[in-house]
């Protein structure tokens, strides 16, 4: 039986199919790497209740761990249950319209669908507890949230941003008693302090910190 297509045409057809698959795969990877929900760096994220870190943390002095109770022991910092909010708001500002969704959800035993501000792709493993234990403070990644009426993202959270710190963590390390200091700035001796904290906190070198399996498990 005579060949319908020439060998040259068949080769071009196969190459075209391979190229199409490669473009599709690249598009999917690009989408997942850059997926951040609705959060845009530097732009406040709307929420069902306009929760203000500036008011709760900056004005009232509430510690991060009062709401994010698992931040020192779990991979996830944790979103506070509505019962935590109601310890105050069962008495305070109960008639204010912005709090109506909170009160309705609490009375109906429902949950609030908060919008993620810091949202990593599903293929990235991140553990809050290990970063805090090793000397990375909240503001290093989250910024000065006590100045934010609505929370926004201050860091790109992209792969290169994380790897830059993993390659040289010393500049970002601070003493344990300053982890929750949202306005901590590195002292003049940070180079020496960072190296000392790396040793004291048993932080391994960049060969381990930049291993693929550290963040992709």
Q: What is the mean pLDDT of the chain?
A: 90
Domain boundaries, given as residue ranges, for the chain: 1-33, 53-79+114-215
Report the C-alpha gap between 216 and 141 in whole angstroms. 19
CA torsion, ordered 139, 113, 75, 184, to nearest 10 deg: 10
Question: Among residues 184, 200, 169, 201, which one has the least CA distance to residue 138?
Answer: 184
Per-residue tokens: 163: 């790897």
The tens digit of pLDDT for each residue in 176-209 reads 999 999 999 999 999 999 999 999 999 998 988 9
Q: Which residue has the tokens 């761990």?
A: 65
Per-residue pLDDT of 83-137, as tens digits, reads 999 999 999 998 999 999 999 999 999 989 999 999 999 999 999 999 999 999 9
Strand partners, 136: 173
**pTM here?**
0.78
């Amino acid at each position: 039986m005579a060949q319908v297509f020439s060998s040259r045409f068949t080769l071009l057809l196969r190459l075209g199919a391979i190229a199409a698959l490669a473009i599709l795969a690249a598009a999917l990877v690009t989408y997942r790497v850059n997926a951040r929900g609705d959060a845009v760096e530097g732009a406040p994220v709307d929420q069902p209740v306009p929760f203000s870190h500036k008011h709760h943390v900056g004005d009232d002095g509430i510690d991060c761990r009062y709401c994010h109770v698992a931040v020192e022991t779990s991979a996830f910092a944790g979103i506070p249950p509505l019962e935590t909010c109601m310890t105050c708001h069962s008495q305070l500002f109960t008639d204010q319209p912005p709090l109506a969704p909170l009160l309705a959800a609490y009375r109906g035993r429902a949950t609030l669908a908060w919008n993620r501000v810091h949202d990593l792709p599903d293929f990235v493993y991140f553990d809050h507890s290990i970063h805090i234990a090793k000397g990375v403070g909240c503001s290093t990644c989250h910024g000065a949230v006590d100045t934010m009426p609505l929370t926004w993202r201050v860091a790109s959270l992209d792969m290169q941003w994380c790897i830059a710190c993993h390659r040289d963590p010393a500049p970002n390390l601070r003493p344990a008693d300053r982890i929750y200091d949202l306005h901590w700035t590195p002292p003049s001796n940070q180079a020496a302090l960072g190296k000392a904290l790396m040793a004291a906190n048993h932080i391994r070198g960049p060969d381990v910190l930049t291993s693929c399996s550290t963040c992709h498990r």
